[in-house]
Structure 1
Amino acid sequence: MTPTPLTWIKSSYSGNDGPDCVEVAISLTRHPTIHIRDSKNKDAARLEFTDGAWSDFLEFAVGR
């Protein structure tokens, strides 16, 4: 089975011709994962979170 390519979404803080930031992709497989990469270096290491870990991170980041 061939994996489905990820669709990357650039952060709204990244400009089209200015400094870039991060990109996020969501894989909706049997075990959903959230992928994060540096939009300036797309071939570098990436972070990958389970949906639960990502929810925990967001809850912590916004201080709720």
Structure 2
Amino acid sequence: MSVEQVPESTDGLHWFKSSYSGSGGGDCVEVATSPEAVYVRDSKLASGGPMLRVSQDTWMALVKLAAR
């Protein structure tokens, strides 16, 4: 598995969070995809916090595990 903190600009990405997150704050993550990777960040720190970049394969493995 390959996971890394992202140093480059990701300004062109479209971020979204789960429809289960609601709008009342809480602990949520946001996700954005590109052809090469999936990016994940904390929604409360979106404007300047850290984010992770994982491969498409790694993301799919995580989704499959979470769906169990």
TM-score (normalizing by structure 2) = 0.68
Establish whether residue 19 from structure 1 lines up as the match of residue 19 from structure 2: no
Pairwise mapping of residues 1-64 of structure 1 onto structure 2 (< 5 A)? 5-16=12-23, 18-20=24-26, 21-28=28-35, 32-42=36-46, 43-63=48-68
Which whole-Å CA distance do the structure 1 matches of 2:62 and 2:13 have between them?
21
SS for the counterpart of 1:7 is coil
Give the percent of matched residue pairs that are identical in Structure 1 and Structure 2: 39
For structure 2, the 5+ residue unaligned runs are 1-9
**Structure 1: segments with no counterpart, 5+ residues:** none
Root-mean-square deviation (CA, aligned residues, Å) is: 1.9
Counterpart CA distance in 2 for 1:45 and 1:60 is 24
Q: Considering only CA atoms, is the larger Rg found in Structure 1 or Structure 2?
A: 1
2 CA distance for matches of 1:41 and 1:4?
A: 15
TM-score, normalised relative to structure 1? 0.71
Higher RCO (C-alpha under 8 Å, 6+ residues apart)? 2
Per the TM alignment, residue 27 of structure 1 is displaced from its structure 2 partner at its CA by 0.8
